[in-house]
Structure 1
Amino acid sequence: MRRSLALPFPALLLLALAGCGDLDTFVPDIPGFSGPAGVVEGTLTYTGPPPCTEKGHIVGAAIVLAFDKRLLPPPSGLGTGAASLDAIPGDVLFASIRDKLVFDKDGALRCPDPSAPNITASGTWTIAPLSGGTYQFRGFYDRDGDFNPAFSISNLPTAGDVGGGAIDNAAEVLMGAAPAYTEVNIGEPDGKGNLVIPPVGVHVLGVGVTLGQVLPLERPVFYPSAVNDSVAGNTDPHKVVVPSDFEFATFPPNDASFIRITFSAGVDPTEIDAAAVTPFFLPVKDPAATLYMAVEDVNGDGLLNNEDHVVESANVPQLYPTSVFSKINAPRLANDKRIETQARPRVIMQGLTLLKNLLLTATKLPPAMPDPMNPPFQSMESEVTVAVRPAAICIDPVDTSKNGVFVLSRKTAADGTAIIADEEALKQSLAARFGRPFDIVYGCLPEGQYSMNLVYPTGQAWSVPNEAGICALAEPQTSDGKTCKAVTNSRPRLVSQDAMLIVGAPKDDAYCKANPTPSACTGL
């Protein structure tokens, strides 16, 4: 069992919970927060394997997270974090069956046999403060006690955790269906399409969260190990620069048309021993890290067939893990050594996930009709190849009245072939996914620094750069770059976890002057 940077769960409760100053007026008593707010209370039912025990306590806690519908986490949306959360410590959730659990007399860690029958337990939760909006409530039981919302390397569930949420189709989900999360409105309509909190606040009761799906996968821990680039001449996979006026030579593209980055599972081989122990406890050793690959149900029809292909070609399947490059708040990283995704506007570039290359990937496209003798492709791999697409999505995730913008660096390839064959079909596809109309603009890509991300269908994700590779202000980096050294202690710096993609200056300044980056991508 891993241990991590996790806060004690009483501390998490202090961060997440708020008392109401008055039973009828919901004004949370939280420093820095004033005015009425939404408060949601509900029940949580856990059905899954028995928890582990250690030092007289039950390991882990049930985590309930509230997500604004406009800011859902990947792969559902473009959110970067929950609006608020609550934690039910294991000692509380399993109090009624504590006498049925096994505790080591010397306090050592005791985990149940994998064949142990499931148990059921229940508890209550409260989340506040919430502003006006529509929310989904998702959650998981952190069985190994390694959750910490303050760090990107420990803020999501890991293998063995038990997932779920407030779900309308819980029984179907346990049989493999995609979850349909309950949507809870907080506030009153303002006549402009928004929900606002009234002067007395909002108190919602009875939201039921069910946890019952054991997650089989670890997070997709990776590092960029190589770059193959005959377009812009990149050789350093930790600093890949894409010209903002990127141009395909021909279209449809071949492998050499793209800047391709190899994402290898885990960390650099020289860092495995350090990464596997305190303070990181990354799942990179015994067994070695791998990356899960599978065909994505692109159109959401519940079937995997030849309709589930990438936009560029009907012959190439769209694969998990989803690869995304997300624009970073560069001043925050430079000045405070804090890694934050730019919140407004959100700017992302979706990569093209490949199994080695386009040709091999094309062989994994499912047939039109299910074939029991040839099930859809899924595999655990030591690496994936990600081709960088010269396109970005720019969106204000909060103001849904604004159109999204899809910016493509060039309308045609150098040979004159159009890149987008059907603009209306692309607009409809984007509108369906993001819940708003989209405009297509041909112009230079938004310049700046972008994180590299892989996302599983479970929502488990990994990003670089992250805290393992970046030294905080209070722990300056040593001259050799291998250690982050604070006043009282030090830790290894995992250099492989410090990498990014950069959209840089154009090759042709005149092109970008004539076709500038749209304003929706640079400010609000």
Structure 2
Amino acid sequence: MSTLRPTLRWGLVLAALLSTHCDPPPVEATADHRQRQSLSRIEGQVVVQGRVRGNAIVLLYDAARPPPPQGTGRPLSFTVIPQERLFGPADDSSAGPFTAPYTFSLVAPGRYLVRGFIDADTCRTGVQPCHTPDFIPWYTVTGEPNAGDMGGAAVDPVTRVPRVLELAENADGTLPALTGVNVLFGEASTVPVDRPVFWVDSPPRFERTASIKLLDLKPLPIQQGAVDQRPAAMLVRFVDENTDGQPDDANGDSVPDIWPRVVVRKLAEGETLTDAQRLADENDLDRNGVLDAEGAEYPRMEGPGDGQPDLVVLAAGLDTTVLNSMRKPDGSWNMGPVFVESLRVVVQARAFDARNPQQPQLLRAVPSGRYAITLIHVTGQTWRVPNELSPSVAAADGLPEVKSQAFVLEVP
């Protein structure tokens, strides 16, 4: 009778089986197409020239959905390079340059933009107003740069124009990495102001019988908990995309184009939605900036619909009376920034499907529901109401409750 212990005997049997059958088992491709995608990476160096100190926030965008002020895109991904790794023991008076590596992994084929900012600890450097690093990416109210932060981007080393990065497969199907993509930060791109935080000093109801609705937006400093925003006034500035020193008039209506841009967009509806989900845009319940595969569609003024969920916005812009504050004493335009005590927004009773922002489709009627108001600064900073400071959701997120930030435009 064998004297081997059972566990040893089974171990010898397993070893014998393995030694007589060495061929690997067949591997079949998964039916989930997401797991069969070719993925690669984008990597390079963060390069900082300046005296601003703080964590470096590097953001990856789809080039078809650029961030403000060029568009309304949201980051696909982000990475944080800690201040200690980037600046080390350098003295505050040193302007560098300072470098540290960054990487975006698991990136699919496509065209991308890389942007970023230094989340400045301006208390440490003595710059006023005194902010502390406050980037929290999970909330709209804490996910953007403030005054004193330093902007950056992946740019062409000669022209300094932001680069569009293309990650494309080779002829053999392999997907090479994009390397050497440096993100440059400099003091010339220091953010001059805080975000355009506002409250709406107007009734919320937009009567269907009215052709327009006027909304008065006023600055709202908030210094509570994780939110540190201190706008003393509202910033306006002429649009001058061609840099000819004169205001642009893109739509040819003989009225100069002005920053900030105003976006009035329909919010998600439904009895089963939570209070937090009701802050989402209609047809974008996961809040990733990409329209959902299924959702509401509304009748067009002309022609049939496209069978896809709509991105409903109302025609809106700044009241032209703001131009009175943008004249110099000699009557010429002041092309620099101008600060005003409030902004009047004119919302028209016209709705569009802006799924294709280059060719918005006029809808037959303004859909009933709730609408959010967003301001977009020339700096790329934004503010929107309603947001996570609304009392119904703030406490659950550990954010301060600010009643005015629950405002919605109501179309009956």
Distance 1:394 1:189, change over 3 A: farther
Q: Does 1:146 align with 2:143?
A: no
What corresponds to 2:28 in structure 1? none
Distance 1:439 1:155, change over 3 A: closer
Task: Give the superposition deviation at 1:138.
Answer: 0.7
| Aligned amino acid, residue 217 of structure 1 | V
What corresponds to 2:237 in structure 1? 294
Q: Does 1:276 align with 2:238?
A: no
Aligned partner (choices 65, 68, 71) of residue 62 of structure 2: 68
Distance 1:373 1:384, change over 3 A: closer
| Aligned amino acid, residue 36 of structure 1 | S
CA distance in 2: counterparts of 1:333 and 1:319, whole angstroms = 40
Q: Does 1:266 align with 2:254?
A: no
Task: Give the superposition deviation at 1:350.
Answer: 4.7
Aligned partner (choices 63, 70, 83) of residue 76 of structure 2: 83
| Aligned amino acid, residue 263 of structure 1 | L
Aligned partner (choices 197, 214, 221) of residue 197 of structure 2: 221
What corresponds to 2:5 in structure 1? none
CA contact (8 A) 1:309 1:365 kept: no
CA contact (8 A) 1:317 1:362 kept: no
Task: Give the superposition deviation at 1:43.
Answer: 1.3
What corresponds to 1:346 in structure 2? 311
Q: Does 1:461 align with 2:367?
A: no
Distance 1:373 1:326, change over 3 A: closer
Task: Give the superposition deviation at 1:68.
Answer: 0.3
Q: Does 1:443 align with 2:383?
A: no
CA distance in 2: counterparts of 1:304 and 1:390, whole angstroms = 34
Task: Give the superposition deviation at 1:91.
Answer: 0.5
Corresponding residue pairs, total: 339
Q: Deviations over 1:163-213 (max 9, x none)?
A: 0201237776xxxxxxx32011123499xxxxxxx9654421111110111
CA RMSD after TM alignment:
3.2
Gaps of 5+ in 1: 1-31, 52-59, 102-111, 173-179, 191-197, 227-235, 249-257, 268-274, 397-403, 405-429, 476-483, 505-524
CA contact (8 A) 1:38 1:187 kept: no
Aligned partner (choices 260, 267, 270) of residue 328 of structure 1: 267
TM-score of the two chains, using structure 2 as the length reference: 0.72
Q: Deviations over 1:79-125 (max 9, x none)?
A: 2x201111111110112xx1x32xxxxxxxxxx5xxx5633201111
CA contact (8 A) 1:50 1:119 kept: no
| Aligned amino acid, residue 345 of structure 2 | V
Task: Give the superposition deviation at 1:303.
Answer: 2.3
Q: Secondary structure at the match of 1:380?
A: strand
**Percent of aligned pairs with the same amino acid:** 24
Aligned partner (choices 109, 127, 131) of residue 104 of structure 2: 127
Task: Give the superposition deviation at 1:129.
Answer: 2.6
Q: Deviations over 1:316-357 (max 9, x none)?
A: 322111111122233499325233233424333352113xxx
CA distance in 1: counterparts of 2:234 and 2:249, whole angstroms = 20
Q: Deviations over 1:270-293 (max 9, x none)?
A: xxxxx313243x323xxx632111
Task: Give the superposition deviation at 1:390.
Answer: 3.1
CA distance in 2: counterparts of 1:461 and 1:65, whole angstroms = 16
1:168-183 equivalences under 5 Å are 168=156, 180-183=161-164
1:85-484 equivalences under 5 Å are 85-95=78-88, 98=89, 100-101=90-91, 116=93, 118-144=95-121, 145-168=133-156, 180-188=161-169, 200-212=174-186, 213-226=189-202, 236=203, 239-241=204-206, 243=208, 248=211, 258-266=212-220, 275-280=222-227, 282-284=228-230, 289-297=232-240, 300-305=241-246, 308-309=248-249, 311=251, 313-314=253-254, 316-331=255-270, 334-335=273-274, 337-338=276-277, 339-341=279-281, 342=284, 343-344=290-291, 345-354=310-319, 358-359=320-321, 361=323, 364=326, 375-376=334-335, 378-396=337-355, 404=356, 434=358, 438=359, 440-441=361-362, 443-472=364-393, 484=395
CA distance in 2: counterparts of 1:459 and 1:348, whole angstroms = 20
Distance 1:439 1:83, change over 3 A: closer
| Aligned amino acid, residue 262 of structure 1 | D
CA distance in 2: counterparts of 1:205 and 1:75, whole angstroms = 27
Q: Secondary structure at the match of 2:232?
A: coil
TM-score of the two chains, using structure 1 as the length reference: 0.58
Q: Which has the higher Rg, Structure 1 or Structure 2?
A: 2
Bigger drift between 326-335 and 451-460 goes to 326-335
CA contact (8 A) 1:218 1:283 kept: yes
Q: Secondary structure at the match of 2:162?
A: coil
CA distance in 2: counterparts of 1:372 and 1:39, whole angstroms = 53
1:35-46 equivalences under 5 Å are 35-46=37-48
Gaps of 5+ in 2: 1-33, 122-132, 285-289, 292-309
CA distance in 2: counterparts of 1:439 and 1:462, whole angstroms = 23
Distance 1:142 1:439, change over 3 A: closer
CA distance in 1: counterparts of 2:350 and 2:390, whole angstroms = 28
Q: Deviations over 1:40-91 (max 9, x none)?
A: 111111112242xxxxxxxx31111111012212221232x20111111111
Q: Secondary structure at the match of 1:444?
A: coil
Q: Secondary structure at the match of 2:179?
A: strand
| Aligned amino acid, residue 305 of structure 1 | Q
What corresponds to 2:402 in structure 1? 494
